[in-house]
Amino acid sequence: MKSDDSNKPGKPGKPARQPTPATLTRRAFIKGAGAAAAAVASLGAVASADAAGEADAANSNGVIERLGPDAQTFELNINAKMMQVTAEPRVTLLGVLRDQLGLTGTKLVCDRGACGACTVHLDGRPVTSCMVLASRARGHQITTIEGLGTPGRMHPVQSAFVANDALQCGFCTPGMVMSVAAELNRNPAAGLDDIKHAVAGNICRCGTYPHVFKAALQAAGFKTRGRPPGGSA
């Protein structure tokens, strides 16, 4: 008997049968859907915990403890004074400063750490307070624009800003002053490039940067040579 070679390669005739894909059964579909739902539920649980405002923070003794989701009362060292606040763990340092303590010199503008208007000092370092949880600031020294100087005895940077008209609408000014002051505390002999780098995260929509730079350099001169900017002490 002659063998049938019609399915061999290179031979005309009926094409070779292709393997059929595996059929998705109802059981397999339900099983896969259940696994996917479980994965989504686990992610949702994590998101819910975050949304509830739970957070870890160190207490005054340096012990890590879980806070939230309810509001709790704790103390913050602000402008060299211990101040008692009550806040949920999701509340930012900016919110506590403005809404509870009335320290409105720290400005709320972008609320996402992009403009620098809410800059304060945390242990001497400039930080955007809208990006710092109030509960995380416990045990640190916080300085706001109100704690930098007073109208009767301004900080050299504040005096220099007044003398050089380094402000227009004023929303960016507190953050600018705090950034410049932090840089001069770190580097009293700061030059123009240092100042530009220090305020790189501070946005002035009025475009007063040349006056800001001039004021900052004048304040640097005061700190290094003891000459009061603008005639102020």
pLDDT (average), residues 163-172:
95
Q: So what's the pLDDT on residue 153?
A: 92
Do 183 and 222 share a structural domain? Answer: yes
Measured CA distances, 147 to 76, 155, 169 (Å): 14, 10, 22
* Domain stops at, among 146, 167, 199: 146
Q: Identify whether 151 is preceded by a cis peptide bond (ω within 30 of 0).
A: no
- 222's enclosing H/E stretch is helix 209-225
Domain count, the chain: 2
Residue 114, domain member (yes or no): yes
Q: Residue 211 corresponds to which tokens in the numbers above?
A: 């006056």
Residue 34, domain member (yes or no): no
Q: pLDDT of 89-145, one tens digit each?
A: 999 999 999 999 999 999 999 999 999 999 999 999 999 999 999 999 999 999 999
- pLDDT of 149 strictly over 70: yes
- pLDDT of 83 strictly over 90: yes
Q: So what's the pLDDT on residue 40?
A: 47
Q: Which domain holds residue 153?
A: 149-228
Q: For residue 154, what is the domain's CATH number?
A: 1.10.150.120
Q: pLDDT of 8-33, one tens digit each?
A: 555 555 555 655 555 667 666 676 76
pLDDT (average), residues 78-86:
97
Residue 29, domain member (yes or no): no
pTM here is 0.69
Measured CA distances, 63 to 66, 81, 105, 126, 139 (Å): 10, 22, 32, 25, 11
Q: How buried is 163 (Cβ within 10 angstroms: 0-12 exposed, 13-18 middle, 19+ buried)?
A: middle
Q: So what's the pLDDT on residue 117?
A: 98
Q: So what's the pLDDT on residue 1?
A: 52
Q: pLDDT of 55-70, one tens digit each?
A: 555 555 565 567 768 8
- pLDDT of 148 strictly over 80: yes
Q: Residue 77 corresponds to which tokens in the numbers above?
A: 């060292």
* Domain stops at, among 97, 127, 146: 146
What number of other Cβ atoms are within 10 A of residue 40's Cβ? 10
Residue 107: closest CA among 132, 90, 128: 128
Q: So what's the pLDDT on residue 69?
A: 82
What is the band of 81 on the pLDDT scale with cuts at 50, 70, 90? very high
Which comes out higher in pLDDT, residue 40 or 122? 122
Q: pLDDT of 175-225, one tens digit each?
A: 999 999 999 999 999 999 999 999 999 999 999 999 999 999 999 986 555
Q: So what's the pLDDT on residue 63?
A: 57
Residue 22, domain member (yes or no): no
Residue 77: closest CA among 93, 91, 95: 93
Q: For residue 95, what is the domain's CATH number?
A: 3.10.20.30
pLDDT (average), residues 145-170:
95
Q: How buried is 110 (Cβ within 10 angstroms: 0-12 exposed, 13-18 middle, 19+ buried)?
A: middle
